[in-house]
Chain A
């Protein structure tokens, strides 16, 4: 069977926005797909070692619920995605941005990512 190509982009860093792209990336990578996991200027915070997942207002219950359910942390899930072969990219970083990435990520122009997305079997952004 032809290998699938999946491009997932994390646009936001709130807890409820961080899990879906990582879940899709892990699921796709574990089923053998080539996965590009990209982060926008806001989503890139997820990659920072100092990142703490905080839900949006009125969704605070999610933190406890995820914890009670024994769900992996955002950084643990990111680690699983990397282990499974997902490639990490960041777009639109400013030269003045200072990040301490938990995993190496290549900086690419948004046009490159959109070209990859156009050629993918599945492109999603969250």
Chain B
């Protein structure tokens, strides 16, 4: 059974590696973790971006994101995200959601952290 529920809200892609590391640590301690990606943060959910940003700060972002998904961390991309207009190629395992889903998840969380 999960100990605690964590929700991360990330709107800057440059913060994603940090958030993923924190999220993985929480998930490894049997906590339930969801990450909501918005605005620039949602870029990482696009397969094309992941190809370009294969390595950032010595971190293989694609690998880190797969590790997070394998660990049961849920990825949500803002359904109103601007990238959809540019033909978002959503990565496998991630889903689009609106603010209602975010609020529903956030209300039940023990901690909601924004980056």
User: Chain A interface (Cβ within 8 Å of chain B)?
Assistant: 4, 6, 16-17, 19-20, 23-24, 26-28, 31, 33, 59, 62, 65-66, 68-69, 71, 121-126
- Are B39 and A19 in touch, CB under 8 angstroms? yes
Given the interface pairs A16-B39, A24-B102, A59-B40, the reply to whether A121 lies near B107 with Cβ below 8 Å is: yes
Evaluate contact between B103 and A31: CB separation under 8 angstroms: yes
Q: Interface extent on B, as a size class? A: 20 to 34
Measured in the bound complex, the distance between the Cα atoms of B86 and A126 in whole Å is 26
Q: For B40, give its contact among A16, A23, A28 (CB under 8 Å).
A: A16
Q: Which residue of A lies closest to B112 (CB)?
A: A124
* Segment with Cβ contacts to A, from B17-25, B62-70, B76-84: B76-84
Query: Across the interface, do A26 and B114 meet the contact criterion of CB distance under 8 Å?
Result: no
Q: How far is the CB of A40 from chain B (nearest CB, A)?
A: 14
Interchain CA distance A98-B21 in the complex, whole Å: 42
With a cutoff of 8 Å between Cβ atoms, the chain A residues found around residue B32 in the complex are none
Neighbour of A69 across the interface among B80, B103, B114, CB < 8 A = B80
Minimum CB–CB distance for B46 against chain A, Å: 12
Q: Do B11 and A17 have beta carbons less than 8 Å apart?
A: yes
When the two chains form the complex, which single residue of B38, B39, B83, B106 contacts A122, counting CB atoms closer than 8 Å? Answer: B106
Question: When chains A and B are docked, how far (Å) is the Cα of A125 from the Cα of B82?
Answer: 22
- Whether B82 contacts A62 by the Cβ 8 Å rule is yes
On whether the beta carbons of B106 and A66 are closer than 8 Å, the reply is no
* Chain A nearest Cβ from B45, distance in angstroms: 15
Q: Which residues of A lie under 8 Å from residue B82 when comparing CB positions?
A: 62, 65-66, 68-69, 71
Closest 9 interchain pairs by CB?
A27-B99, A65-B82, A69-B85, A69-B82, A68-B85, A16-B39, A122-B106, A66-B82, A126-B114
